[in-house]
A and B are shown apart, each in its own frame.
Chain A
Amino acid sequence: MSIGPEYYVVLSAVLFSIGVVGVIARRNPLIMLMSIELLFNAANLALVTYARVWANDAGHVFAFLVITVAAAEAAIGLAIVAVTFRRTPFVDVDEVSALKG
């Protein structure tokens, strides 16, 4: 690592912020899911950075778990989007209000 870990963590924070904007501001469900993937990846980058800083493999294992959870989340989220879209075609998540209290 020829460059300080702060740079990696700040890059991870920048990516996380971009993902947050995507989740909040976009109304397209697929783009929202992709922004969530961005969030996962930003967190992973920080985990791997600190694993390298402390020369400890636990960070790698945890990033591995995060990747698994991200895969499961993407599969289930896309299944929900597909099923909901099949029932009532929508392009804006605010249109889906069947479960609104």
Chain B
Amino acid sequence: MIAFWILAVLMVASAVFTVSAKKPVYSVIGLLANFVCLAGMYLELQAEFLAVIQIVVYSGAILILFVFVIALLSSGVRPFDVGPDRAPRIMIPATILAGLTLIAITVTALRTPSAVVHTPVGVTGDANAFGSVGDFGVALFTANLLPFEVTAFILMVAVIGVVLIAGDDDAVTGSRRKPRRPGKRESIVKDTVAR
């Protein structure tokens, strides 16, 4: 109960900080706080495995990716953190839209029957309790095996896409540093398409 309110306040505050921060690096800090609090929320909801995954994947991998990209971009010609925001003009319709979303979801949520809230699902920490690694693994590898394999496929496509987009900048996009050799890029692009 207490934990929920502490985490909820922290999550909302960090989310507002993420969205309103001046520099992307500050946003990363806010997002990190948000993700850690969300992992705590998962623990409270007896989703132990997801809590660990949340920390590992989001706080570990995705945020580090953001930090690296910010670092790389900031080393360029002009600082990346001076985004001129057209906030005052577009903030009003954005806030109205978000408020409508909030009202819609809230009304729907409060109308949902929640009769089975107190379903006993075993003690957190038990080997085969609800949300534990064993329980999650059984659910993932039996009934949901196909979605799991699709996940692997999505990750493979993402890796190939990232390598193709950002890997060899001379071949795919043309480098800013080296002098452009006319004809080479076109032929390589054509070659890639042909393959």
A interface residue numbers (CB < 8 A to B): 1-22, 24-28, 30-31, 33-35, 37-38, 41, 44-45, 48-49, 51-55, 57-58, 60-65, 67-76, 78-83, 85-87, 89, 91-92
Q: Is B161 an interface residue (CB 8 A)?
A: yes
How many whole Å from A97's CB to the nearest CB in chain B?
A: 15
CB pair B53 A64 closer than 8 Å: yes
CB pair B41 A8 closer than 8 Å: yes
CB pair B19 A91 closer than 8 Å: no
Pairs A-B, 10 closest by C-beta atoms: A72-B158, A57-B139, A28-B83, A22-B19, A13-B105, A9-B109, A17-B98, A24-B94, A79-B166, A30-B24
B interface residue numbers (CB < 8 A to A): 1, 4, 8, 11-12, 15-16, 18-19, 21, 24, 27-28, 31, 34-35, 38, 41-42, 44-47, 49-50, 53-54, 57-58, 61-62, 65-66, 69-70, 72-73, 76-78, 80-87, 90-91, 93-95, 97-99, 101-102, 105-106, 109-110, 112, 114, 116-119, 121, 130-131, 135-136, 138-140, 143-144, 147-148, 150-151, 154-155, 157-159, 161-162, 165-166, 169, 172-176
CB pair A27 B95 closer than 8 Å: no
Query: For the complex, what is the distance from the CA of A48 to the CA of B50, rounded to whole Å?
Result: 9
Query: For the complex, what is the distance from the CA of A92 to the CA of B66, rounded to whole Å?
Result: 17
CB pair A57 B135 closer than 8 Å: yes
CB pair A60 B66 closer than 8 Å: no
A residues near B148, Cβ cutoff 8 Å: 61
Query: For the complex, what is the distance from the CA of A94 to the CA of B18, rounded to whole Å?
Result: 21
In the complex, which residue of chain B has the Cβ closest to the Cβ of A11? B8
- With beta carbons under 8 angstroms apart, the residue of A15, A22, A63 that contacts B50 is A63
How many whole Å from B83's CB to the nearest CB in chain A?
A: 4
